[in-house]
Structure 1
Amino acid sequence: MLVSSVLSLIASFVLSVDAVKLAADPTAELSCNINQVISCGTVAAAWQSQLLGFPNAFLGLIAEPVVITIAAACLGGVRFPRWFMFAAQVVYAIGFGFAYWLFYQSMFHIGALCPWCLLVTISTTLVFATLTHVNIRDNNLFLPARLQTALASGLRANLDLVIVVIWLLIVVLAVVVKYGDLLFG
């Protein structure tokens, strides 16, 4: 969770700098404009990149330090109250949904992919999975007893790891199937 959120923070910083560059000069050439498919500039020019009226990357600059703090505190032995971890799960679920909405928009509507955005999507997936793992393990999600027991059993069998690996492989496969040779051309 800590490593993934640090990577997302770095990506958010780069994307924020690029957003400022593009605001100053809409014709600026970004270093991650590699071809017609791998093109940060194309993604950044789309309305989806500023859904709330400012660059989405600014949200990462706000949210990721919070996640880093939670992860570092947990590594240091801090146990947050159940309500806090439940709230963190809910808020991060919204971020997870937003990341995949942006991924979908990029894949099927914008028609270009941003490597930094893809890093955020993957990192968000890993943070969400880790946070969910911790919250199920520590019984923070206010789930019915039978469901909590079943999910905790699945964690002990590492089913969450299997699900995350399959999920990320599906994401990669979707990109390759959709864009194939254009990715490297």
Structure 2
Amino acid sequence: MLLSACLSLTASFVLSVDAVTLAADPEAQLTCNISSVLSCGAVGVSSQAAVFGFPNAFLGLVAEPVVITIAVAGLGGVRFPRWFMFSAQVVYTLGVVFAYWLFYQSMFHIGALCPWCLLVTLSTTLVFATLLHYNVRENNLFLTPRAHERALSFIRAGWDGAVVMAWVGAVVVAIILRYGADLLP
């Protein structure tokens, strides 16, 4: 969770700098403009890049330090209250839904993928999965006893990791099927 949040924070910082650059010059050539499909610039000038009226990357600058703090505190042995971890799961679930909505927009409406945005989507997926794993293990999700035991069995069997790997693999396959050779410069 800590590593993924740090990667996402780094990507958010770069995307924030790029957003300021594009605000000054929408035709600016960004270093992550690799091909017609892998293009931060094409994504950065789209309306989807500022859903709430400011660059989406600014959300990462605010959210990821919170995730990093939770991860570091957890590594240090801090046990947060159940309501806090449940709330963190709810908020991060909204974050992962937003990340995949943006990914969908990039894939099917913008027609370009931003490498930094892809890193944010991957990192968000991994943080979500890690947080969910922890919250199931610690019984922070207010599940019924039967549902909690089933979720614990799923985790003990290692299926949560397999699901995440399959999900990430499916995203990679979808990108390759959609864009194929156009991904290359």
TM category (shorter chain) comes to over 0.9
Aligned to 2:120: 120
Q: Distance in 1 between matches of 2:83 and 2:133?
A: 16
Aligned to 2:159: 159
Displacement after TM superposition at 1:24 (Å): 1.2
Name structure 2 gaps, 5 residues minimum.
none
Aligned to 1:90: 90
Displacement after TM superposition at 1:26 (Å): 1.4
**1:140 paired to 2:140:** yes
* TM alignment of 1:28-177, pairs within 5 A: 28-177=28-177
What residue identity is the alignment partner of 1:98?
F
What residue identity is the alignment partner of 2:146?
R
Percent identity at matched positions? 66
Q: How many residues align?
A: 185
> Secondary structure at the residue paired with 2:3?
helix
Displacement after TM superposition at 1:122 (Å): 0.2
> Secondary structure at the residue paired with 2:93?
helix
> Secondary structure at the residue paired with 2:10?
helix
What residue identity is the alignment partner of 1:181?
A
What residue identity is the alignment partner of 1:171?
V
Displacement after TM superposition at 1:148 (Å): 0.5
Q: Distance in 1 between matches of 2:54 and 2:136?
A: 35
Q: Distance in 2 between matches of 1:166 and 1:106?
A: 21
Displacement after TM superposition at 1:25 (Å): 1.3
Question: CA RMSD of the aligned region, Å?
Answer: 0.5
Q: Distance in 1 between matches of 2:51 and 2:103?
A: 13
Q: Distance in 2 between matches of 1:149 and 1:117?
A: 36
Displacement after TM superposition at 1:144 (Å): 1.2
